[in-house]
C-alpha cells in the first residue's frame, strides 16, 4: 500500500463500538487516526493510515432488507445478496428501522454491509467471521478490489478460488520503503506439527472467541 491508496472500511469497531461503549458520540462518517478503535479492524486501519498516509473512508447508511428470516445487504447493483448477522441490524441504537423488512444501518459491520459502496477502493477492511461477509469479500476481490479481513473465521471457504484482487486474513502489517504491506511473512509448518483448530455453533459474539486457527509447536 502507498500513500495514495484509498481504504474503505466498516464503522463498527473502527469509528465507534457500541458493545464496548467506545467513542459513541462520534459521527459514523468521520475517521480519525487518534480516535480509531484500538482493536480488530480499527487498529489495522489506523496502522495502515499511520504508515502510508492513505485515506480511510467509512461506509455507512447501508440499506438492509429482511428476506425470509435473514437480513441482507446489497451489492453495487442493488441486489440484496450478502447476509448480515441480525444483531448488527437490530441491536444498534443508530439503526433506522423503516418497517419490519427494511432498515438503514449506520454502524456497519462486516464486508457484507459495506461491499455495495466499496468498488472504488484499493483496499477494503472489514470483519470476515460470517459466511455473508466472506461472500462479499469474494465479490469485491472478483471485481479487482483487495480485501483485508483481520477477523477471518470463514476465510477457509475461499480456498481454491481465483480472483483479480487479493483476499488476506489475520496477517500483520509492516512498514516498507514505499508505504506498508499486509502479510508477506510466510511460515513453515512441519508435517508432524500439531495444529489445533477451534470452532463453535454459538451465536455472535461467542463465535469471535473461537474464530482463530491456532498453531502450536
196 domain residue, yes or no: no
206 domain residue, yes or no: no
Cell 498516509 found at: 53
Instruction: Give the pLDDT confidence of 14-46 residue by residue, as tens digits.
Output: 999 988 888 888 888 889 888 999 999 999 999
203 domain residue, yes or no: no
Instruction: Give the pLDDT confidence of 171-211 residue by residue, as tens digits.
Output: 999 999 999 999 998 889 999 999 887 777 766 555 554 44
Query: Shortest CA distance to 151 belongs to which of 2, 8, 13?
Result: 13
Number of compact structural domains in the chain: 1
54: containing domain: 6-185
208 domain residue, yes or no: no
Per-residue burial over 82-107, b if 16 or more Cβ lie within 10 Å, else e, is bbbbeebbeebeebeeeeeeebebbb
Which residues are within 8 A (CB) of 182 and not within 5 positions of it... i.e. 6 or more apart?
1, 48, 123, 148, 168, 171, 172, 173
Residue 203 gets which letter from DSSP? P
47 domain residue, yes or no: yes
Instruction: Give the pLDDT confidence of 71-99 residue by residue, as tens digits.
Output: 999 999 999 999 999 999 988 899 999 99
Q: What percent of the chain has pLDDT over 70?
A: 93
138 domain residue, yes or no: yes
**pTM (two decimals):** 0.88
1 domain residue, yes or no: no
**Going by DSSP bridges, is the β-strand pair 6-9/55-58 parallel, antiparallel, or unpaired?**
parallel
Q: What is the pLDDT of residue 19?
A: 82
Which of 18-22, 128-132, 146-150, 210-214 comes out lowest in average pLDDT?
Answer: 210-214
**Rounded CA separation 146/167 (Å):** 6
84 domain residue, yes or no: yes
Amino acid at each position: 500500500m502507498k500513500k495514495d491508496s484509498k481504504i474503505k472500511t466498516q464503522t463498527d469497531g473502527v469509528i465507534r463500538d457500541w458493545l464496548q461503549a467506545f467513542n459513541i458520540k462520534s459521527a459514523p462518517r468521520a475517521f480519525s487516526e487518534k480516535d480509531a478503535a484500538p482493536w480488530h479492524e480499527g487498529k489495522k486501519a489506523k496502522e495502515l493510515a499511520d504508515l502510508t498516509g492513505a485515506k480511510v473512508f467509512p461506509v455507512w447508511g447501508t440499506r438492509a432488507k429482511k428476506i425470509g428470516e435473514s437480513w441482507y445487504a446489497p451489492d453495487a447493483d442493488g441486489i440484496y445478496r450478502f447476509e448480515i448477522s441480525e444483531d448488527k441490524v437490530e441491536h444498534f441504537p443508530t439503526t433506522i428501522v423503516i418497517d419490519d423488512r427494511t432498515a438503514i444501518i449506520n454502524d456497519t459491520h462486516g464486508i457484507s454491509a459495506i461491499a455495495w459502496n466499496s468498488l472504488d477502493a484499493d483496499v477494503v477492511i472489514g470483519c470476515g467471521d460470517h459466511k455473508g461477509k466472506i461472500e462479499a469479500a469474494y465479490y469485491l476481490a472478483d471485481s479487482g478490489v483487495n480485501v483485508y479481513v483481520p477477523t477471518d473465521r470463514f476465510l477457509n471457504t475461499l480456498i481454491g478460488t481465483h480472483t483479480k484482487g487479493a483476499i488476506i486474513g489475520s496477517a500483520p502489517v509492516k512498514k516498507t520503503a514505499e508505504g506498508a504491506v499486509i502479510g508477506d511473512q510466510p511460515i513453515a509448518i512441519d508435517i508432524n506439527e500439531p495444529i489445533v483448530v477451534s470452532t463453535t455453533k454459538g451465536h455472535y459474539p461467542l463465535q469471535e472467541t473461537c474464530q482463530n486457527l491456532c498453531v502450536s509447536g
